[in-house]
């Protein structure tokens, strides 16, 4: 994915932390027992983004920043109505790579726009990543995020 970039990617080291577990469906109080990612994948596929190689959950990565802004998403899908009884949401995706134990994996920054969400808000220094299943990756692990220059504005601490 990143091979098409004209300049070196931005690299940030972050820590994998436990999230709400709604994306995977493992959360105790989740209204989505199958998990949001499994439910959303068919909608995104119809819109042109195939996430079939990604694990049905997100990696929640705490970064050494105060916040970030998506500037140039690879995909942006507006007003996606993916669950009956809930508002439609806007989603942005940025092609990226994650690196763990010297292995790199093609991945996606997954950004449900907060202004269209009704619940499960994230900390402003936390980024959600969709990636293939990564063996031995656990809470507390450090990963390196590689994102294209100009795609995301990271505001330092």
What ranges do the domains of the chain cover? 2-156
Q: Is the pLDDT of residue 34 over 90?
A: no
pLDDT at 82 over 90: no
| Token duo for residue 103 | 């292995």
96-110 tens-digit pLDDT: 999 999 999 999 999
Lowest mean pLDDT across 21-25, 28-32, 74-78, 121-125: 21-25
- Mean pLDDT over 14-18 rounds to 94
Q: How confident is the model at residue 67 (pLDDT cuts 50, 70, 90)?
A: very high
pLDDT band at 32 (very low <50, low <70, confident <90, very high): low
Strand pairing partners for 42?
none
**pLDDT tens-place string over residues 110-157:** 999 988 876 655 678 999 999 999 999 999 999 999 999 999 999 998
Task: Tell me the average pLDDT across 3-12.
Answer: 74
CB atoms inside a 10 Å sphere around CB 80: 17
Check: CATH 2.40.50.140 for 2-156?
no
Nearest Cα to Cα of residue 144 among 106, 95, 105, 98: 98
As a whole number of angstroms, the distance between CA 63 and CA 39 comes to 27
Cα–Cα–Cα angle for 17, 54, 123, rounded to 5 degrees: 30
Of the chain, the percentage scoring pLDDT greater than 90 comes to 67
Counting Cα atoms < 13 Å in the Cβ hemisphere of 71 gives: 11
pLDDT value at residue 20: 59
């Amino acid at each position: 994915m990143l091979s098409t970039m004209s300049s070196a990617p931005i690299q940030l080291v972050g820590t994998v932390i436990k999230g709400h577990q709604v994306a995977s469906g493992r959360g105790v109080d989740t209204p989505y027992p199958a998990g949001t990612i499994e439910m959303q994948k068919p909608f995104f596929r119809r819109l042109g983004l195939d996430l079939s190689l990604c694990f049905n959950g997100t990696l929640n990565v705490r970064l050494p920043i105060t916040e970030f802004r998506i500037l140039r998403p690879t995909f942006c899908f507006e007003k996606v109505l993916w669950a009956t009884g809930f508002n439609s949401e806007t989603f942005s995706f940025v092609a990226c790579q994650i690196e763990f134990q010297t292995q790199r994996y093609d991945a996606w920054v997954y950004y449900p726009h907060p202004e269209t969400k009704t619940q499960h808000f994230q900390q402003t220094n936390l980024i959600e990543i969709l990636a293939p299943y990564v063996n031995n990756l656990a809470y507390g692990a450090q990963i390196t995020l590689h994102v294209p220059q100009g795609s995301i504005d990271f505001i330092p601490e």
